Amino acid sequence: MADAQINRQILLVSRPQGEASVSNFKLVETPLAPLAEGEVRVRNHYLSLDPYMRGRMDDAKSYAAPQPLNEVMIGGTVGVVTESRNAAFKAGDSVVGMFGWQEYGTSDGRGLNKVDASHVPLSAYLGAVGMPGVTAWYGLNRIIEPKAGETVAVSAASGAVGSVVGQLAKAAGCRVVGIAGGAEKCRYVVDTLGFDACVDYKASKLHDDLKVAAPNGIDGYFENVGGEVLDAVLARMNAFGRIALCGMISGYDGAPLPLKAPRFLLTQRLKLQGFIVSEHMEVWPQALKELGERVASKKLHFRESIAEGLDNAPEAFLGLLRGKNFGKQLVKLV
Amino acid sequence: MADAQINRQILLVSRPQGEASVSNFKLVETPLAPLAEGEVRVRNHYLSLDPYMRGRMDDAKSYAAPQPLNEVMIGGTVGVVTESRNAAFKAGDSVVGMFGWQEYGTSDGRGLNKVDASHVPLSAYLGAVGMPGVTAWYGLNRIIEPKAGETVAVSAASGAVGSVVGQLAKAAGCRVVGIAGGAEKCRYVVDTLGFDACVDYKASKLHDDLKVAAPNGIDGYFENVGGEVLDAVLARMNAFGRIALCGMISGYDGAPLPLKAPRFLLTQRLKLQGFIVSEHMEVWPQALKELGERVASKKLHFRESIAEGLDNAPEAFLGLLRGKNFGKQLVKLV
């Protein structure tokens, strides 16, 4: 009998005290069991790294159960079927799933979706045509509900979610203002993604720069960051503005951040709504169809930061929490 | 020719630096001009004192223009027509209007509404069947949208707005939890208004007491207070909870208060919406009809704190900002 094939996996082995670190993770090698009847095996090509994973590392009240210790870290993956004993899949099929931080995934087919990698690159199903894209679509269309001529702002504007928010808002006829960290990201947001303006939050004059970038105030805001960025935007919101609260990454890895002036929510009669895209599955088909068409026709641009190899996943994930990525953060597994 | 009748008025003569004080106001006596054709004169019986007035005293960006200096302070009034040269009104008519802090009002009829004081006491048109009542109605029915069996909480629960919120929510089949300052107010909220529970925010164990009062968490919250009360309630909100942000009185008179943990808005996928009832005039007829019927049939209870005489209006207003009133704060002018 041949040796069993080896699967490399990353487990969460401890919870962060304050900042997350590479020591919270551990790489293990596990032999793959032979496929049972009805099962399908996938070689994962890309692993998605996303801010929500930081929340799962804690044992705190949140919208999802914590990631169990000593199990494979949760995560979205795309890959190709290598072997199938399930009639719905055959070797060579491209599939998107939630196999987590590991090279191989085995499934009975549930939670696994075949995708067409001929017009849209496989990795995009973890980004613009995946969960981040639908997140952008939902927050923009179902919470902000932008009208042509309004000003829409988005933080983490060069990221997987923010870049889609801004391009969709631009297509809806809005003035679009990005907020990103550093001159290089800001240039990309304006020159490549086509935003009207981008403010560098690291330039230490966020209030003034926002005033210039959004001279008529802000009607819709898509929030990924929280903290002082949210404070600055709140002060520029117009009456009856809408805020889609998707993330607050600046407070994930350490002490939670306060909101300095909640009074603006009242004085400007704002609507602020937190959401999690996985609770709105009803919009996914429509959103994915629209996003896929836009990517295939080159009307929706995106950029990826790709870490090479599973070993580098923890370091890449910590970098994501600090904004070191530029565009969608992936780990290439083949 | 007889001496002109004297009207006593209170003007705003300076803006607060930090806390408001009686020195910001000044009582003046002004002779009344004879009525012109088309005008109507009203002897005001009650002046309404409301938290929003504090915002008008400042010269800051808000939803309304600041109160101009050296003019009569803004305010809702009810009274009786003493003289009319306007066909729509006759002497003896009971009317509600916005004559401000003064004993007499003169109007061309605009903004003046005749009310029926036979089934509903005149003063109630400044409270449960007036702006505060409609405020409660709007925030509850249009933002919180309570479902039977849910838990609804409201701060300043014994006040003009909060008392109506809770009674309407109770009528809608909810568990209703009040938050008020002091044991006496809490007893009233439960025993007279019929709330299921009331938490005394002055008892210094708001978090624990809320847990007991709302064992299943809070689905809808009507906020009048802000500050640490909002912090405590946020931590008890259930997923998909709704917060109607009506006021943040704890931060009006001094430094604005931060929100300690905005992350709950995200983790619990809350909707928070600020509103001003005067921007939703379309609901007033329906709301006033329902509120008037409930008061007339004794199904809606309310309580009033009545200061005697215009001279005492500034002191009563400052007391309102500190929660010294018990129920709707009025000034009796006759």
Q: What is the pLDDT of residues B152-205, one digit of tens each?
A: 999 999 999 999 999 999 999 999 999 999 999 999 999 999 999 999 999 999
Q: What is the pLDDT of residues B63-93, one digit of tens each?
A: 678 999 999 999 999 999 999 999 999 999 9
CA-CA distance, B175 to B220, in Å (whole number)? Answer: 10
Cβ atoms of A95 and A79 closer than 8 Å: yes
DSSP code per residue over A175-243: EEEEEESSHHHHHHHHHTT--SEEEEGGGS-HHHHHHHH-TT-EEEEEESS-HHHHHHHHTTEEEEEEE
pLDDT at A4: 77
pLDDT at A3: 67
CA-CA distance, B43 to B81, in Å (whole number)? Answer: 6
Kindly indicate the confidence band of residue B4, based on its pLDDT and cuts at 50, 70 and 90.
confident
Q: Which of B226, B266, B269 is facing A248, going by the closest CB pair?
A: B266
Helix H, strand E, coil C: the string for chain B is: CCCCCEEEEEEECCCCCCCCCHHHEEEEEEECCCCCCCCEEEEEEEEECCCHHHHHHCCCCCCCCCCCCCEECCCCEEEEEEEECCCCCCCCCEEEECCCCECEEEECCCCCEECCCCCCCHHHHHCCCCHHHHHHHHHHHHHHCCCCCCEEEEECCCCCCHHHHHHHHHHCCCEEEEEECCHHHHHHHHHCCCCCEEEEHHHCCHHHHHHHHCCCCEEEEEECCCHHHHHHHHCCEEEEEEEEECCCHHHCCCCCCCECCCHHHHHCCCEEEECCHHHCHHHHHHHHHHHHHHHHCCCCCCCEEEEECHHHHHHHHHHHHCCCCCCEEEEECC
Note whether B267 contacts A260, CB cutoff 8 Å. Answer: no
Note whether A269 contacts B269, CB cutoff 8 Å. Answer: no
Cβ atoms of A105 and A86 closer than 8 Å: no
| C-alpha angle B257-B260-B261 in degrees, rounded to nearest 5 | 145
**Tokens standing for residue B7:** 């009207």
Q: Which of B61, B62, B274 is facing A265, going by the closest CB pair?
A: B274
Residues of B with Cβ-Cβ distance to A248 under 8 angstroms: 262-263, 266
Q: What is the pLDDT of residues B240-262, one digit of tens each?
A: 999 999 999 888 887 778 999 99
CB neighbours of A264 closer than 8 A, spacing ≥ 6? A234, A235, A237, A270
Kindly indicate the confidence band of residue B2, based on its pLDDT and cuts at 50, 70 and 90.
low
DSSP code per residue over A271-299: EEEE--GGG-GGGHHHHHHHHHHHHHTT-
Burial class of residue A67, CB neighbours in 10 A (0-12, 13-18, 19+): buried
SS3 label, residue A99: coil
What are A's interface residues with B at a Cβ cutoff of 8 A? Answer: 55, 61-63, 226, 230, 239, 245-248, 251, 256-263, 265-276, 279
pLDDT at residue B62 above 70?
A: no
State in Å, rounded, how far the first CA of chain A is from the last one.
26
% chain B with pLDDT above 70:
98
Neighbour tally for B60: CB within 10 Å: 11
Select from B108, B96, B48, B94 the least CA-distant residue to B74. B48
SS3 label, residue A156: coil
* Sheet containing B71-72: order of strands: B25-31, B6-12, B71-72
Note whether A258 contacts B261, CB cutoff 8 Å. Answer: yes
| C-alpha angle B221-B222-B225 in degrees, rounded to nearest 5 | 115
pLDDT at residue B1 above 50?
A: no
The domain made up of A6-127+302-332 has a fold known as Quinone Oxidoreductase; Chain A, domain 1 (3.90.180)
CA-CA distance, B114 to B92, in Å (whole number)? Answer: 10
Torsion sign (Cα): A54, A159, A236, B219: negative
CA-CA distance, A75 to A208, in Å (whole number)? Answer: 39
CA-CA distance, A214 to A197, in Å (whole number)? Answer: 8
Residues of B with Cβ-Cβ distance to A62 under 8 angstroms: 267
ipTM score of complex = 0.91
Q: Is B38 left (phi over 0), alpha (psi -120 to 50) or beta?
A: left
- Give the bridge partners for A94, in sequence order: A80
**Distance from the A57 Cα atom to the nearest Cα atom in chain B, whole angstroms:** 14
Q: Which of B258, B262, B274 is facing A268, going by the closest CB pair?
A: B274
Burial class of residue B30, CB neighbours in 10 A (0-12, 13-18, 19+): middle
CA-CA distance, B329 to B318, in Å (whole number)? Answer: 11
User: At what angle are helices A284-296 and A131-138 packed, to 10 degrees?
Assistant: 110
pLDDT at B43: 98
- CATH 1.10.4030.10 is right for the domain spanning B131-278: no
Note whether A259 contacts B259, CB cutoff 8 Å. Answer: yes
CB neighbours of A114 closer than 8 A, spacing ≥ 6? A89, A93, A94, A95
Note whether A245 contacts B266, CB cutoff 8 Å. Answer: yes
Q: What is the pLDDT of residues B123-135, one digit of tens each?
A: 999 999 999 999 9
**Distance from the B78 Cα atom to the nearest Cα atom in chain A, whole angstroms:** 27
Query: Would you write out chain A's pLDDT as a tens digit for each of its 334 residues?
Result: 456 799 999 999 999 998 999 999 999 999 999 999 999 999 999 999 999 999 999 997 666 789 999 999 999 999 999 999 999 999 999 999 999 999 999 999 999 999 999 999 999 999 999 999 999 999 999 999 999 999 999 999 999 999 999 999 999 999 999 999 999 999 999 999 999 999 999 999 999 999 999 999 999 999 999 999 999 999 999 999 999 999 998 888 877 789 999 999 999 999 999 999 999 999 999 999 999 999 999 999 999 999 999 999 999 999 999 999 999 999 999 9
Q: What is the mean pLDDT of residues B225-253?
A: 94
Note whether A266 contacts B245, CB cutoff 8 Å. Answer: yes
pLDDT at A175: 98
Cβ atoms of A166 and A227 closer than 8 Å: no
pLDDT at A128: 98
% chain B with pLDDT above 90:
93
Torsion sign (Cα): B162, B163, B165, B166: positive
Select from B232, B205, B233 the least CA-distant residue to B219. B233
Identify the DSSP state of A32: P
Q: Domain locations in chain A?
A: 6-127+302-332, 131-278
Note whether B265 contacts A251, CB cutoff 8 Å. Answer: no
Stretch (H or E) spanning A260: none
Q: What is the mean pLDDT of residues B95-104?
A: 98
Residues of A with Cβ-Cβ distance to B230 under 8 angstroms: 262
| C-alpha angle A162-A268-A51 in degrees, rounded to nearest 5 | 25
